[in-house]
Amino acid sequence: MKKSMLLLVVFCLPVVVTIAQMQGGNLPRFVRWIDNSQVVINTKLNNEKAPKDYIYSIVSKQYAPAPAGKTGSDKVVLVKNANLFLVEDGIEKQLTFDEAEEKNPTLSPDGKFVGYTKNNNLYTVSIEDKKETAITHEETKGILNGYASWVYFEEIFGRPTQYRAFWWSPDSKYISFMRFDERKVPMFPIYNSDGQHGYIEETRYPKVGDPNPMVKIGWVAPTGGNITWADFNEQEDQYFGWPIWNPNNNNMWLSWMDRGQNKLKIYELDMASGAKKEVYQEYQKTWIDLEDRVSGRINFLGNNKGYIAQSDATGWNHLYLYDMTGKLLNPITSGKYTVTGIKLIDEKNNTIYFTARGIENTARIDFYCVGFDGKNFKRLSVGEYNYSQINLAPDAKHFVAVYSNVKTPTTIAVIDIPKKGVANVQQIGAAVDSNFNPANFAVTELIRIKSADGLYELPALVTWPKNRDPNKKYPLLVSIYGGPNAGTVMDSWSNPASKENWAKEGIIQVAFDHRASGHFGKEGVNYMYRNLGYWEMQDYMTMAKWFIANGSADPKKICITGFSYGGYMSCYALTYGASVFTHAMAGGSVVDWGLYDSHYTERYMDTPGENPEGYKSSSVLTFVKDFKGTLQLVHGTSDDNVHMQNSIQFLSALQDNGKEVEFMLYPGGRHGWGAAKGKHFTELKNKFIYTHLLEKPYTAAK
């Protein structure tokens, strides 16, 4: 750490800023680098009505129209009328011809096959002759091939995968897939009231302590044949991560984790036999996140020379150099800061380019490079900004950056990386136009508040009321999420119309981040282990008290609002935290962790049998007798993530204790909702704020 800090002082370069045909009002968008000196930018020039792609020269600082042409794959596979269609060079060709719906069509890397699932089985189709091959043939209910069980979709693979659980090898010789047996996973019924009789959605949803789906992984040639299964025992209580491929030999690398989620092993799988060989292992006393790191937990070097891994085992996410057997060669980064992503691994110069937070400021992401040996650490970003986007040129001599801070509107610029001397910044666009005057807007600040135990400087983003009177008390509106390593406070520009409206109405608007929000690395997040709710609320209460004592907040109008985990914290605030918080708006709320899924909850809490006191103290239901204040509680009736069961049990406990709340259901709503119901939800919250915090009539928007 000391070495890094010294090098940072040495290598922070002076800056020269130039403005080249800068566009304001609509932030230009980076598209791609053409070469080392030309970049495609999507923007509006000369008062155009709609943005277009232009080529920007970093040498001449001029724009030229970008020629029309292909920007990606010339083959696209679509699902239309439940069948697959290949679109190539504008020509559409139907590939499948049946009534069953194909899902997640994925082209093989060589473009010769399409993999997909239907009726919970895996299929391929040859693009050349349209021959369809059934890779699996199972009809047993509760067996899924290539289609993820719910807990994997939600918590491990992620919703953007759309349940896909199959993968092509880089050489297209194999299509691999996971087979899920979820017959022992309890079914959770979700009632849908549509129609005359309604109907039940059945989801295999493992709550804490329940059986998880049994999983195994196999692969086969795209034309079918005998499946090779990886050498794992599917009867074990275990998890598997999203597979990756070693480009040096086309073997699969697969993450394995125990049910307790504190032991991680990565295996290389032999594609011929299914045998496994351990190439990485990690153990932590608390937990390990199975989800892949940004830019990859494992990043291969060429010619099987080794790999660069990311790990937060020290309490901070860092980079490490390994050989291909899994032997640690050396740490690349170290210290009390968090690596947030890898932008380039330059093997020719043994240099890695990456983003990190916490060296300059925990609320900012900056850009750095360092040698594979951990030497020559250098900051590449300039100024005191949060860098939300970094797009490095092919030769790593320039990068396109999008940056801002609470005082500086979002800007896009080309920044060079000189070996020494002055870094040149070519500003090419901003989110505001030249008429923008910050004096006309409410003041927003990023402040720090010391935690009650004195260990952390907790960040808060505050927008003060317009024309604030220091002798007047104002309602405090606290917006939070609150989940582990999921903070919302960053030193970034934001100026929605709603923020200005509430400032004019006289509300102090704040966002709080607690010690486990990510600002203080895994070291801070570990406070949540077996104890969800406690430290988050302790820190939120401390921060709210600071605004009461120092920030003109009215102690009778301290309102907290959030959705999902934020809904949990909002409900917890009017029960466990009711000595400070007086109002809350909570949506899609967990109220007892015994009601949530196995993978997420047990990662932090272990099982109820292992941690009964933690489950009791973290439950909103435990403190219902202490409920006081005014609560708006909302839930979607078809929420498949945080079941409406949570709100129903909370309402029942409140009624049993003679308590009243404002409650709204959104029929058919999942874990969030849009369109007319989304507008209704916004109006509902606005009315709550006007009625209870501003104590004035509210006129709904038309």
Percent of the chain with pLDDT strictly greater than 70 = 95
The pLDDT of residue 642 is above 90: yes
Question: How far apart, in whole angstroms, are the C-alpha atoms of residue 353 and residue 346?
Answer: 8
Q: Which two tokens stand for residue 214?
A: 């049994």
Q: Give residue 419's pLDDT.
A: 81
User: Which residues pair with residue 229 across a beta bridge?
Assistant: 218
Cα distances (Å, whole numbers) of residue 651 to 572, 621, 646, 663: 14, 10, 9, 9
Question: How far apart, in whole angstroms, are the C-alpha atoms of residue 86 and residue 68?
Answer: 22
Domain assignment present for 69: no
**Averaged over 420-442, what is the pLDDT?**
88
**Averaged over 162-191, what is the pLDDT?**
97
Domain assignment present for 248: yes
Q: Give residue 658's pLDDT.
A: 97
pTM here is: 0.93
The pLDDT of residue 116 is above 90: yes
Burial of 256 (0-12, 13-18, 19+ CB in 10 A): buried
Name the more confident of 439 and 695: 695
Q: Give residue 294's pLDDT.
A: 61
Question: How far apart, in whole angstroms, are the C-alpha atoms of residue 105 and residue 316?
Answer: 38
Question: How far apart, in whole angstroms, are the C-alpha atoms of residue 667 and residue 670?
Answer: 9
The pLDDT of residue 68 is above 80: no
Maximum alpha-carbon separation in the chain:
79
Task: Single out the residue in 275, 292, 309 at which a domain terminates.
Answer: 292
Domain assignment present for 507: yes
**Averaged over 72-90, what is the pLDDT?**
87
CATH of the domain at 251: 2.140.10.30
**Averaged over 508-521, what is the pLDDT?**
97
Domain assignment present for 394: no
Q: Give residue 1's pLDDT.
A: 31
Question: How far apart, in whole angstroms, are the C-alpha atoms of residue 489 and residue 363?
Answer: 7
Which helix (H) or strand (E) element contains residue 654? helix 645-656
Three-state DSSP class for residue 623: helix
Q: Give residue 646's pLDDT.
A: 98
Mean of the per-residue pLDDT values for the chain?
93
- Out of 66-80, 299-313, 388-402, least confident range: 66-80
Q: Give residue 521's pLDDT.
A: 97
Q: What is the per-residue pLDDT across 470-484, written as a single tens digit (0 to 9) for each? A: 899 999 999 999 999
- Out of 159-173, 228-242, 334-348, 427-441, least confident range: 427-441
The pLDDT of residue 159 is above 70: yes
Q: What is the per-residue pLDDT across 277-329, written as a single tens digit (0 to 9) for each? A: 999 999 999 999 998 656 689 999 999 999 999 999 999 999 999 999 999 99
Enclosing domain of residue 556:
443-694
Binning pLDDT at 50, 70 and 90, where does residue 6 land? very low
If one counts the domains in the chain, the total is 2
CATH of the domain at 666: 3.40.50.1820
Q: Give residue 74's pLDDT.
A: 75
The pLDDT of residue 203 is above 90: yes
The pLDDT of residue 541 is above 90: yes
Task: Single out the residue in 232, 265, 292 at which a domain terminates.
Answer: 292
Domain assignment present for 497: yes
The pLDDT of residue 16 is above 90: no
Cα distances (Å, whole numbers) of residue 160 to 153, 156, 164, 505: 9, 11, 9, 39
Q: Give residue 292's pLDDT.
A: 63
Cα distances (Å, whole numbers) of residue 227 to 164, 167, 223: 19, 14, 11
Q: Give residue 2's pLDDT.
A: 32
Domain assignment present for 498: yes
Domain assignment present for 194: yes
Task: Single out the residue in 277, 292, 307 at which a domain terminates.
Answer: 292
Domain assignment present for 64: no
**What DSSP designation does 354 have?**
E
Binning pLDDT at 50, 70 and 90, where does residue 13 land? very low
**Averaged over 377-397, what is the pLDDT?**
96
